[in-house]
Structure 1
Amino acid sequence: MTGILYLEDGTIYEGKGFGKKGISVGELVFNTSITGYQEILTDPSYAGQIITMTYPLIGNYGIHQLGNQSSKIYAKGFVTKSIDQTPSHYMNEENLEQMLERMGVVGICEVDTRSITKKIRRTGPLKCVISNEELSIEVLKEYFHKEKFQEDWMKHVGTQKIIHIPGQGPKVAVIDFGMKKSILENLKSRGCDITVFPYKSKYEEIININPDGVFLSNGPGNPEAATESIETVKKVIQKIPTFGICMGHQILALAIGGNTYKMKYGHRGGNHGVYDIQKDRAYITSQNHGYAVDKKSVEDQGMVITHINLNDHTVEGMMHKELPVFSVQFHPEGSPGPADATYLFDKFVSQLKGDMICQ
């Protein structure tokens, strides 16, 4: 079947359709990872986006349920140069197209993904319509007006109820903005007693379990849209040690009184260099974000920059001068990508075991 990608600036890419037959509207972004397509698709942080993979061959090792980062695909579409319909891996359970069909996601392949990526780098993310149905461009244009482009995806992709995962270690309250499974696995492997709270949980609900620490998860969309959570975090950081990752990092910046801004085309991939100022060491990290923290705004509020991006020098990590609060923009748990920075989970748990609650 024919596949079409129609961009808001009028650009058209034609290829071959795969996955669920249908039409979808979203924000077009690109990811530079070579592997990890399953983890990328099931990462809730991609809610509302249509993902273009820059690596040319996708699907060659298939799909296995252990690779899922959530129970479904939150991305609105998937774009590749080519797909492998006969994957080779001893854990393979189905191919990529079967997964997209089962989870209701539209895909297109055999398009010039290099051209798409260069366009996004020039212009920034573009709204687009992806279709593998036989429809005219005039019909596709109408979808820009039919479907709303929302930013507050966090209320839809995280848990809707409180979940308790017992452990023998420090008691951690997790605020779920759209969390990846691998983050929970990192906390569980360190023995944490975990309580996962929905996106809009109040400070009183969180403090009621008497947590040793609070973890702010990753998630999709604009951090400024999480107004209720920002107010909650303002109270949390005055009383409880707090660690934020990705969206959690941005919400922490806003809660402390700083600012965030939308990047031209964001960081998405498993090969981003980050410099840890305190360790005087560089790491290759996994990243997925379209917003960044304004450096001066958080420094004016008592934050110290701990990590910077080696490509564009954006803020990748920070900590408070007095409060036991720190965060990073990248994903130390990887999935996909390197897990060289998992020491940050050790740092958080060690902090909690030291009973560093600020009274």
Structure 2
Amino acid sequence: MDEALLRSLTPSVLGILVRRGADFAAAEDAVQDALLEAVRVWADDPPRDPKGWLVTAAWRKFLDATRAETARRRREDRIDAEPEPGPVSGTDDTLQLYFLCAHPSLTPSSAVALTLRAVGGLTTRQIAEAYLVPEATMAQRISRAKRTVGDVRFDQPGDVATVLRVLYLVFNEGYSGDVDLAAEAIRLTRQLAAAIDHPEVAGLLALMLLHHARRASRIAPDGGLVPLAAQDRGRWDTTLITEGVQILQTALSRDRLGEFQAQAAIAALHADAPTAEETDWVQIVEWYDELAALTPSPVVRLNRAVAVGEADGPRAGLKALAELDDSLPRYAAVAAYLHERDGDRETAARLYAEAAQKASNLAERNYLTRQSARLNSRES
């Protein structure tokens, strides 16, 4: 049974049910039931027309659920007779589903969950395991999200920027449970790129591919973080890097620069350097300047301070850092790194320890703690 095929068909099957008159929440439940039935049946008896099979099965599930609820009997009067199995509409509603699942009325966490379920075809259990929360909690989150968008017209235009932010949130979750969310985000972004010709969609896809290419080198055998400068570049996936650079170059040639394209350009410069010492930091600073002009994010300026420290020396980096709020996440870690490069190991050790206390995950905390201990042992 081809699970990847099932996931790829999910948005188009859901779109067909909605266009036939099913409300989004009921249609999504019916599609999930049909997917579960496909998992059970297809291994022994695969259909010749998988999409047609899923549409027929999902529509039957929807009709059964509708007829079983007396509160929805009025809707039965306007539901057409069940269609015979056969060719289904070629209309691709994938793009509208992306917009619906990333609706501005949803919180980021709800938008991510609904996107993974309705567009990605993941089960509630899989999403819950990926986000390390109880299945009942995730089920409630998805249910609330579906109610929130229940009255949104399916043909309303959506905001591409919101969709891209949701997909980037999925990508940054990485891997946990039995679902690789980074790979899932790449798959969904490829799907979106096929549905819409937009340079920022291409920019996000390029950025994901360039970051994902370094995945194998980011974690040491003991589970510790490996910083970019120390990574084994021989383990980087050159196929993904080549694809990412090509996609980025095509997007940039359209002269409609956006923040994901600028981020991808920075990632491409890192990927292009044979060694950390050969990194073109001057050009990276220039791209951070472009990025800062596109978004007011203080995180961009924080990362720019690191780049300035590499291009113009640690004191220039510290000067750029001093312009920012010291309560920013990772501020202490950046300050520690720049102070160490400037030769002030005592201050760097103290700041590494401070950064470790503020770290958002165990791997980062352990890395920063080791950095502090390393400098303290040299001082003693």
> Which structure's relative contact order is higher, taking Cα pairs within 8 Å and 6+ residues apart?
1
Give TM-score, length-normalised by structure 2.
0.27
Could you say which structure has the higher strand fraction? 1
Larger radius of gyration: 2
